[in-house]
A and B are shown apart, each in its own frame.
Chain A
Amino acid sequence: NAGVTQTPKFRVLKTGQSMTLLCAQDMNHEYMYWYRQDPGMGLRLIHYSVGEGTTAKGEVPDGYNVSRLKKQNFLLGLESAAPSQTSVYFCASTGLQETQYFGPGTRLLVL
């Protein structure tokens, strides 16, 4: 079991560029989440999904879009990156239990 994996591990973007972060889980979990983590701010929920084909907004959804076409994958898209989106992004998943399993994170720098 790989658990939760994230691709890429690190990326540098220029302002206005777009990119997609990929999250994959092999635990057959229904729920998946995207967070960002900034110094002093803690983990903040961007978007989440309660099952294949569903998505919902979290606390800080502006500037991001998501898709859950397959149960095991949850994609986070930035259509036009801004310096304010420089952060560490974590994906997580959970099944029937309430505990969340996190991926290793993606460090994104927007110049």
Chain B
Amino acid sequence: SQKIEQNSEALNIQEGKTATLTCNYTNYSPAYLQWYRQDPGRGPVFLLLIRENEKEKRKERLKVTFDTTLKQSLFHITASQPADSATYLCALDPGFQKLVFGTGTRLLVSP
């Protein structure tokens, strides 16, 4: 069956450190993968998109990698801040302009 897996346990890190979140998938061959941020009581907000022919994408303190052989994406936040505390969702495209979402990983950045 098709699955997207994100670590369901919260990730706790200290301010200033790099946070690394993992998204693994099975039985998909997505053309691209996306990462969203969701704050409590709000809808997800798009962060980054990476295509299957791209190994890495950066936006300010954010970096995403995409390994189609390992079927894995890594999401990095460098120099993390307490304001980065949120749930981060990965999503991939199974086709037809639809997205399938992982369950998300909660990130807590302590001062």
Contact B34 A103 (CB under 8 A): no
> Is A50 an interface residue when CB atoms closer than 8 A count as contact?
yes
> Is B111 an interface residue when CB atoms closer than 8 A count as contact?
no
- A4-59 contacts to B, CB under 8 A, are 4, 31, 33, 35, 40-45, 48, 50, 58
Min C-beta distance of A73 to chain B, whole Å? 17
Contact B34 A98 (CB under 8 A): yes
> Is B49 an interface residue when CB atoms closer than 8 A count as contact?
yes
Contact B89 A43 (CB under 8 A): yes
Contact A41 B43 (CB under 8 A): no
Partner of B43, one of A31, A42, A90, A94: A90
Chain B positions within 8 Å of A90 at CB level: 43-44
- Residue picked from B43, B49, B102, most chain A C-beta under 10 Å: B43
A103 vs B93: C-alpha distance when bound (angstroms): 20
**Chain B: interface residue total (CB-CB under 8 A):** 22
> Is B69 an interface residue when CB atoms closer than 8 A count as contact?
no
- B72-106 contacts to A, CB under 8 A, are 89, 91, 93, 96-104
Contact A99 B49 (CB under 8 A): yes
B-facing mask of A80-111, CB < 8 A → 1, else 0? Answer: 00000000001010100011111111000000
| A–B complex contacts, Cβ < 8 Å, 19 sampled | A40-B8, A41-B103, A42-B103, A42-B104, A43-B89, A43-B91, A43-B101, A58-B98, A94-B97, A98-B32, A98-B34, A98-B97, A99-B49, A100-B46, A101-B46, A102-B43, A103-B43, A104-B43, A105-B43
Closest 4 CB pairs of A and B: A102-B43, A42-B103, A43-B101, A99-B46
